[in-house]
Structure 1
Amino acid sequence: MVRVIEDMFGIAVNPMTQKTDQVRRFTLSTDRGMCVSIITLGAIIQRINVPDVDGKLEDVCLGYDDVAGYYRNQPAYFGATIGRVANRVARGRFKLCGKEVSVSRNFRGQVSAPRAALWAFDSVIWGCGGNTQRWRYLPSTSRRTATKGTPERLPVNINFSLNDTGCFGMRIEARAKATTCVNITNHAYFNLAGHGSGRDTLLQHMLMIKAQKIVDTDLEQIPTGKLMRIRNTPYDFSSLVNLGKRIGQLANCPIHGFDNNYCVDVPPNRVQLVARVVHPCSGRFMEVHTNQPGVQFYTANNLPDEDRGGAPNIGKAGAHYVRHGSFCLETQKYPDAMNHDDFPSIVLNPGQLYDHQVVYRFGACPKRI
């Protein structure tokens, strides 16, 4: 049986109304002890408690204990729902219905990454009605966004779910009244040993991603329009492989870690397994099931490197969040898809339904030390 508890998490200024709103937290929990907390600020996944093989609970999702923490560290987008267009948009420009569209550029002044609007989904207060697991974002028509040439109103619904088998799901739906681009994701950071356990435990993880290609990018991580085959390269996770070994193989690369969109072969309208992560020491595992054609794999390369004097990023319960101390597996379509006709389209026409489904299945298996 799944229970839902609501509590007050804090207050924040809603950029859509310029008024102070309550930030509420909803916690879904099962009889087996697993629980997931989501806050209405940014539809952020704030906590995921998962038992290990011995039943010991650990929070495996990075985040903060208060609203101020999320504001201080907003560029990291911990646990946030990202949209309306996630990932990179080259030069912050694209053509839609023959017209040039410009979006806000927030990455080195050249790229929109990972969001493409002044009031992006991670910044607003989401609403939820009688069904507290179904959340809604309805942009105001009285204000303009920074996305010129695209419709201002894009009603979005997210249905959060949890069941007794350890499956935490998100179903994101949107309909537009005018043609627009939509590519939504969630930017949760995970460490199956515990959210604050750091780099050493992250490097113990084993990872599998069901993909034979990644989106090829230039030195600025902008897609070239090509797909790169990865068999027998450090990017190949077609079978379970140690993550520490793979990160070590990228020591001399400019990014010094992974930040790549994997092209997973998912049939239309089907949700299937695309990735699996195992932490052998605790026995915890996480599977990712989705109907999306891409998974952005990121190893927290931009978090502070405290070994080299980086200022600490202090998270929940005083934990230090560090470079290569966590990972993201973000289901989505390909980055910069609107500028590449060969990529799966992110254009949403009037009457069409944007239907993004993702299920994170957590569990535990016998330890392998």
Structure 2
Amino acid sequence: MHDRNTSLSPGIQVDDFGSLADGRPAKIYTIEHPNGLRVRVSDFGATMISCEVPDKSGERADLLLGFDSVTGYQGAANPYFGASVGRYGNRIAAGRFSLDGKDYLLATNNDPAGIPCHLHGGELGFSGRLWDAEPASDRRSITFRYHSKDGEEGFPGNLKVEVTYAFNENGDLVWEANATTDAPTVLNLISHSYWNLSGDPSLPITDHQLTLFANHFLPTTQGMIPTGELAPVANTPMDFTVPHIIGDRIDADFEALQFGAGYDHCWVLSGPREEGVALAARLKDPKSGRVLEVFTNQPGIQFYTSNWIDEAHFAGDNPPGKGDRIYGKRSACCLETENFPDAPNKPNFPSATLRPGETYRHTMIHRFSAE
């Protein structure tokens, strides 16, 4: 699929991933673990391109939606497949916020129900940038670095960002983001991977079983901006405190599901924390037996069921997905650990402000098993 080029690092496989529109080359890096996990990541957008995981029979398959080259990831129709998103992942109402008495105006690059908002960092965001890569010699980790200049996409402060993909001592896949700034700014870095644990994206994820360790969720307006309320999930289709098949209630006559055309909301995590992280979600594919558990140090998790992915993403000059596939509605789901959407405009939400001398840290752990 790619031209092999291992000259950049003696300990990790490095492949060509195509060229950006300005001619710069993009690379793809492979990290592996003896337990059978194999992950490929790119310096374009610090993006996770593939994640190969064994099923209960030991058969390994790629569980992520995406593209075969960087061309697809540059396209306007790319729904942030696998990207490291920033400065602010998720939505900011009307593309506006105030910080220390100063107003800031951002791009309004999304308009649910015709109501404009800022989404995932703006016109390019971090997902549309080429990052510097530093692969480790042990083949099990790689760090990407990006310097976001003061004023980029309308955000204040020069921001230094690191995203690391690594296997820990338990064989878990860790995505970790760190950042520092020289002026007050707002920040919410997220990993935006689309999972189908069957390994076959022609099969919808509506038969997957999900548990969310959250007793509340954030209701939104029609424009998918949180109202500020923390609503109980009890006795609603948003209750995943015990395992539920995703498709059982996804089209229920419930306002939140109508606004999102399915699940596309932030849940407020309530699980106990150990060593700074809490179990946020458990996703299982009954057929393959694959299980994904997600742990995080963040207060929320956005669960999204690919409600807006359809043939239009691959029409015209837009390339198809991996292996010439055309992904359909609900062909994958996202489990994005995060601070709350629109937190800069909601004083009752956890603060999204980062100040000089502070270090932002977002840890997201993916634990795979099969049963």
Considering the TM-score relative to the shorter chain, is it more than 0.5? Answer: yes
Q: Work out the CA distance in 2 between the residues paired with 1:81 and 1:259.
A: 18
Decide whether the 8 Å contact of 1:181 with 1:346 is kept in 2. yes
Determine if the alignment matches structure 1 residue 359 to structure 2 residue 362. no
Q: Which residue of 1 aligns with 2:295?
A: 289
Instruction: State how many pairs are aligned.
Output: 349
Q: Which residue of 2 aligns with 1:16?
A: none
Q: Work out the CA distance in 1 between the residues paired with 2:209 and 2:274.
A: 28
Q: Which residue of 2 aligns with 1:135?
A: 144
**Superposed CA offset, 1:273-313 (max 9, x none):** 1100011111000000000001000000110179xxx9998
Q: Which residue of 2 aligns with 1:12?
A: 20
Q: Work out the CA distance in 1 between the residues paired with 2:229 and 2:56.
A: 42
Which one of the candidate residues 91, 112, 122 is aligned to 1:88?
Answer: 91
Q: Once superposed, what is the RMSD of the aligned Cα atoms?
A: 2.3
Structure 2 CA distance for partners of 1:187 and 1:323, relative to 1, 3 Å: same
Q: Which residue of 2 aligns with 1:219?
A: 222
Determine if the alignment matches structure 1 residue 326 to structure 2 residue 332. yes
Structure 2 CA distance for partners of 1:313 and 1:222, relative to 1, 3 Å: farther
Query: Structure 2 counterpart of 1:115, which letter?
Result: G
Q: Work out the CA distance in 1 between the residues paired with 2:149 and 2:15.
A: 26
Structure 2 CA distance for partners of 1:33 and 1:355, relative to 1, 3 Å: same
Q: Work out the CA distance in 2 between the residues paired with 1:52 and 1:6.
A: 26
Q: Work out the CA distance in 1 between the residues paired with 2:65 and 2:253.
A: 24
**Superposed CA offset, 1:131-177 (max 9, x none):** 46111111357xx52305x12x2000112102575411011000111
Query: Structure 1 counterpart of 2:196, which letter?
Result: N
Please give the secondary structure, in 2, of the residue aligned with 1:70: helix
Decide whether the 8 Å contact of 2:67 with 2:321 is kept in 1. yes
Determine if the alignment matches structure 1 residue 146 to structure 2 residue 153. yes
Q: Which residue of 1 aligns with 2:193?
A: 188
Q: Work out the CA distance in 2 between the residues paired with 1:45 and 1:78.
A: 8
Q: Work out the CA distance in 1 between the residues paired with 2:321 and 2:71.
A: 11
- The aligned runs of 1:227-306 (5 Å cut-off) are 227-249=230-252, 253-265=258-270, 270-304=276-310
**Superposed CA offset, 1:193-232 (max 9, x none):** 0152332xx1211000000111121111111111111112
Please give the secondary structure, in 1, of the residue aligned with 2:357: coil
Query: Structure 1 counterpart of 2:60, which letter?
Result: L
Please give the secondary structure, in 1, of the residue aligned with 2:12: strand
Decide whether the 8 Å contact of 1:180 with 1:347 is kept in 2. yes
Q: Which residue of 1 aligns with 2:4?
A: none
Decide whether the 8 Å contact of 2:121 with 2:153 is kept in 1. no
Query: Structure 2 counterpart of 1:145, which letter?
Result: E
Query: Structure 2 counterpart of 1:139, which letter?
Result: S
Consecutive unaligned residues of structure 2, counting only runs of 5 or more, are 1-10
Query: Structure 1 counterpart of 2:154, which letter?
Result: T
Q: Work out the CA distance in 1 between the residues paired with 2:130 and 2:289.
A: 36
Structure 2 CA distance for partners of 1:288 and 1:320, relative to 1, 3 Å: same
Query: Structure 1 counterpart of 2:12, which letter?
Result: V
Structure 2 CA distance for partners of 1:91 and 1:140, relative to 1, 3 Å: closer
Query: Structure 2 counterpart of 1:137, which letter?
Result: Y
**Superposed CA offset, 1:45-94 (max 9, x none):** 10000110100111101111011122235441111111001111101111
Decide whether the 8 Å contact of 1:263 with 1:293 is kept in 2. yes
Decide whether the 8 Å contact of 1:36 with 1:49 is kept in 2. yes
Determine if the alignment matches structure 1 residue 336 to structure 2 residue 342. yes
Q: Work out the CA distance in 2 between the residues paired with 1:160 and 1:303.
A: 26
Report the Cα offset of residue 265 of structure 1. 2.4
Q: Work out the CA distance in 2 between the residues paired with 1:94 and 1:224.
A: 15
Q: Work out the CA distance in 2 between the residues paired with 1:130 and 1:203.
A: 36
Q: Work out the CA distance in 1 between the residues paired with 2:85 and 2:200.
A: 21
Q: Percent identity?
A: 33
Q: TM-score, normalised by structure 1?
A: 0.88
Determine if the alignment matches structure 1 residue 42 to structure 2 residue 39. no
